[in-house]
Structure 1
């Protein structure tokens, strides 16, 4: 018979082997590298208290514990609205023991900024069910135990989440592909701060409207809009194409957390209008889904 101390050592070794997997699962469920670290640490504490005696699939068991931890954190987040003060401020510096802005950006990019934005629109149980099943192939019987639903109900949660993540657009595939090229050209020029490339992708009479406090509400003309856009190059690196109410636009999401949505009107291969949405209430009303 294995002595308790030996069992604890074996569990610790196994946990370290699974740590990267657990962090990846938690990052997709929570959208934050720091929160993912907290979830993994809490998983270790709960696993240590419970012990793995008699557990055949330790990785699956740890994933189940992690899923419950993440679900609790997502529910707590819903009860504690995020403070969006300074939404266009530069990313904060690293905190001791935490994840710095550059590392957070790399982690978010590895998942996909647009995907993290869309996942953040899901309810806690939907997000857990979708991430575990569609991204990590966790069986619905196991997910059901985490979300405290039947396997059939867990499958419905994932199905609803899938429909919201992938969305739909009335645009034919060829039109969507063409407009995506325009959006990507606009974002690439914005990131590079390339004034002439911005002017080339904008209609001469382009109109930019914004709800951002302190900004000029309406700006007209390709060069004026391009000059303003070039000044936002630091934020443009966090922008990705996304479907907004079924039309192609862009989301600005440092670390995968939505801050700004750009509604882009494209006619004849050029951007003729840009609506910049920053107000939290207005962002919440938008239907966002992946553009792929």
Structure 2
């Protein structure tokens, strides 16, 4: 009984970390919880008496569970042609909820998660475990059935793609909010030129409206993105400020019903990425509405 309590205590001490790993791998909060639960079941069944680093062992177990899930999605044809929007983590504008702090400990924004979803499963695992959680390549290699050198190459390829596609947001949250407020003010006023002024020339807008098949939109360029935002300016009166994965964002709630969540990646004082989830059923489930 004491051994069981000790094992449970050790697992609970690592739960937040394991959930953070699974969220970055899967982009789904519910699937991340399922992966963590599967790791617990495997821990219960395993003989870990010779395991010197149980936290590291659990991390690689969760990685393997996530890798198998990603591969099975592709085998069953469940992986969509478009990446889709990961689950947003929505917090009050005043700061990230304590329950989300570990999940977002390295400021993993929606824009980065979208890029991660474009990687091959093995690349994603190598990058997430090594670059985000400092797991050595010789511990990752058996999970992906490669040598440590080949695993290093997986992470290197992933790193290049992430570097090319994901932009690090400005660290000043107050400055981010100023830019988002300027965007929303221009939208409410119907000021197209002011909208363009707060957008980076190469800004990308990604929107997931859900449905079957998924309705996915991706457009690039300040004029094109401003034009899309201009079309939906009538909803600007229903937004309230929130944090989305730790960056400035807004939640649109006409009549108190969540309609969309928008995450703004602000770099150099301009919006470089705008990621929108407007799947109302999914939002209701995520926000408990």
| TM-score, L = length of structure 2 | 0.59
> Structure 2: which 5+ runs fail to align?
171-175, 198-208, 210-214, 216-222, 237-251, 253-258, 279-289
Cα pair distance change 1:164/1:242, threshold 3 Å: farther
2:264 is matched with 240
Post-superposition CA distance 1:154-180 (Å, at most 9, x none): 1000000000001179xxxxxxx9xxx
Q: Hey, what's the Cα distance between the residues in 1 that align with 2:63 and 2:228?
A: 45
Deviation at 1:148, TM superposition (A): 1.1
Q: Hey, what's the Cα distance between the residues in 2 that align with 1:251 and 1:78?
A: 27
Aligned residues: 212
Cα pair distance change 1:165/1:184, threshold 3 Å: farther
Post-superposition CA distance 1:97-144 (Å, at most 9, x none): xx99847x9758752111111111111000010010001100000010
Deviation at 1:32, TM superposition (A): 1.2
1:259 is matched with none
1:270 is matched with none
Deviation at 1:232, TM superposition (A): 5.2
Equivalences for residues 160-239 of structure 1 within 5 A: 160-167=157-164, 188-191=181-184, 194-196=187-189, 198-202=191-195, 227-231=230-234, 233=236, 234=252, 237-239=261-263
Cα pair distance change 1:224/1:123, threshold 3 Å: closer
Picking from 275, 279, 283, the partner of 1:252 is 275
Deviation at 1:230, TM superposition (A): 1.6
2:40 is matched with 44
SS at structure 2 position matched to 1:111: coil
2:51 is matched with 55
Picking from 70, 77, 81, the partner of 2:73 is 77
Kept in 2: contact 1:190–1:230 (CA 8 A): no
Picking from 139, 142, 148, the partner of 1:142 is 139
Cα pair distance change 1:122/1:227, threshold 3 Å: closer
Cα pair distance change 1:29/1:123, threshold 3 Å: same
CA RMSD after TM alignment: 4.4
Picking from 6, 15, 20, the partner of 2:11 is 15
Deviates more, 1:195-204 or 1:6-15: 195-204
Deviation at 1:236, TM superposition (A): 7.1
2:255 is matched with none
2:127 is matched with 130
Cα pair distance change 1:40/1:230, threshold 3 Å: same
Deviation at 1:82, TM superposition (A): 5.2
Post-superposition CA distance 1:59-84 (Å, at most 9, x none): 01111111110101111222343579
| TM-score, L = length of structure 1 | 0.59
1:35 is matched with 31
Deviation at 1:53, TM superposition (A): 1.3
SS at structure 2 position matched to 1:240: strand
Cα pair distance change 1:157/1:226, threshold 3 Å: closer
Deviation at 1:201, TM superposition (A): 2.1
> Structure 1: which 5+ runs fail to align?
92-98, 170-176, 178-182, 205-211, 214-219, 256-292
